[in-house]
A and B are shown apart, each in its own frame.
Chain A
């Protein structure tokens, strides 16, 4: 019962003044895939995420998720359609506890209305109990339950990254966009993260698009990889194909003598 989404990006372009941050990019992501996006700084990777999640409106082109066009919808509509993301610079609800962070993210599936919430109808209690159980299950499944009542800003860096992913998972996403999840992690933590990303793909049945600079991580877990450079797509394929692509080696990995 996979609900993982297929993503089709068609001719996507974003222009900032005279700069083409994303230049006619097309790519296909299969359902349930872990899809890597790599490229030097400024290659347009995060802009791509912002285009998918509706923070930017593309100058040209469109994004289809499961065949439906999401381009032009507002960010919260896109998020409620099951497209979750994490941020390059962690954006948690800092003053809230881990548990509250995850519970808040369940908001789309909570069905009581304003009045029912303020009057505490039985529906309120039913729904609240349900999402609290769900939040607990998510935090337990990724080993954060031990810190569930701590303020999220007080967590160590690695756990904050994990919590951000947990918050995204609480939205029952079909597509999860991870923006440099291993940034600032040491080798040990990065290795753990690889297993963790695979675990959430299998357990939560999501398609994952992953921006990363840690080549080991990308090569290890990605089913397919796209390489960006200066807003253009340089190459795409499996890890081996990318590693052996002379263009990529020249532009990104460095020329091997």
Chain B
């Protein structure tokens, strides 16, 4: 039982990061292959603050988030001007640089051997609450003016500019939110695991996170949540001896299937809403009744 609660907790922690990437990729149209780097910054800053100053988690985590946002924005200012593919390459580099930096300053980060003895204070209820708050925050953001502007940038930058949107600033907002959420996720992760090591944050991790967003459907918050609920705990379900090795293959196969059968992801850009469910059932079952009365 505790094992499965652990799985759910970890799923929740990663989901927060995936929500962040969804804001950047799904709702601002920027692909990043290096967001594991921002999770790493968040987790290491948080862990170091907590350890060095014996500070409680609620001080460490905001520090981690602030660190991730700061680095994200500083890197974003020059790189967000790059067009599509070049931005991807830049983020790829950033992710690797962060990992290498952590590996090569063992005095501070513990290097490749990792950082241990972080107080394990992340609990399941806490993650659940933060997760819900993050979903609400992202949802509120997306339905506000700033979220809509981001979606406009995703759809067509030239047109977005023509209706008066500051595209550079909008991209920076997307970057800041995604880095903040990644930092938050990293902080929770540090305090859940109790130890950190650089290979937790490889490019493979970044790919995994962005794949989750794409499989869920770029531009669908519901899709992102569903996909992370399914894909993040997947390796735990596949924990029989040989299956673990085949996890990434399964991911690949899934991607291929989604591309063939649902090119825009599980949910496309649709959202699950009470209204939508109502309409679905009305269309399914209401038509006959209406038809019967009407005709």
Contact = CB atoms under 8 A, between A and B. Distances in A.
A and B bind: yes
A105 B160 CA distance: 8
Interface in B119-169: 137, 140-141, 144-149, 151-152, 155-156, 158-159, 161-167
Given A79-B163, A94-B155, A107-B164, A118 B144 contact: yes
B103 interface: no
B208 interface: no
Given A91-B156, A107-B148, A118 B141 contact: yes
A105 B145 contact: no
Contact of A76 (B137, B148, B164, B269): B164
Contacts of A91: 156, 158-159, 162
A75 B173 CA distance: 19
A167 B163 contact: yes
B223 interface: no
Contact of B163 (A94, A112, A127, A171): A171
Interface in B67-100: none
Contacts of B219: 95
Interface stretch (A22-30, A96-104, A215-223): A96-104
A75 B158 CA distance: 9
Nearest to B158: A91
Interface stretch (A11-19, A80-88, A202-210): A80-88
Interface in A147-168: 167-168
A117 B145 contact: yes
A124 interface: yes
B155 A76 contact: no
Interface in A164-196: 167-168, 170-171
Interface string A63-79: 00000000000111101
Contact of B162 (A84, A96, A112): A84
A92 B156 CA distance: 7
B144 to A, nearest CB: 3
Given A87-B159, A110-B145, A114-B146, A93 B164 contact: no
Contacts of B269: 95
Given A96-B152, A118-B144, 19 more contacts: A55-B158, A74-B166, A76-B164, A76-B166, A76-B167, A77-B164, A79-B163, A87-B158, A91-B162, A92-B159, A93-B159, A94-B155, A95-B219, A96-B155, A104-B151, A107-B163, A108-B163, A114-B173, A120-B140
A108 B164 contact: yes
Interface of A: 53, 55, 74-77, 79-80, 84-85, 87, 91-96, 100, 103-105, 107-108, 110, 112, 114, 117-120, 124, 127, 167-168, 170-171
Contacts of B165: 76, 107
Contacts of B161: 55, 75-76, 79
Contacts of B152: 93, 96, 104, 107
Chain B interface helix/strand/loop/mixed: helix
A117 B163 contact: no
A117 B162 contact: no
B155 A75 contact: no
Contacts of B173: 114
A100 B145 contact: no
12 contacts: A77-B164, A79-B161, A93-B156, A94-B155, A96-B152, A105-B163, A108-B164, A112-B145, A114-B144, A117-B140, A117-B141, A171-B164
A95 B155 contact: yes
A84 B159 CA distance: 10
A84 B140 contact: no
Most buried by A among B151, B162, B167: B162
Contact of A104 (B137, B149, B158): B149
Contacts of A119: 140
A128 B149 CA distance: 14
B282 to A, nearest CB: 15
Contacts of A84: 162-163
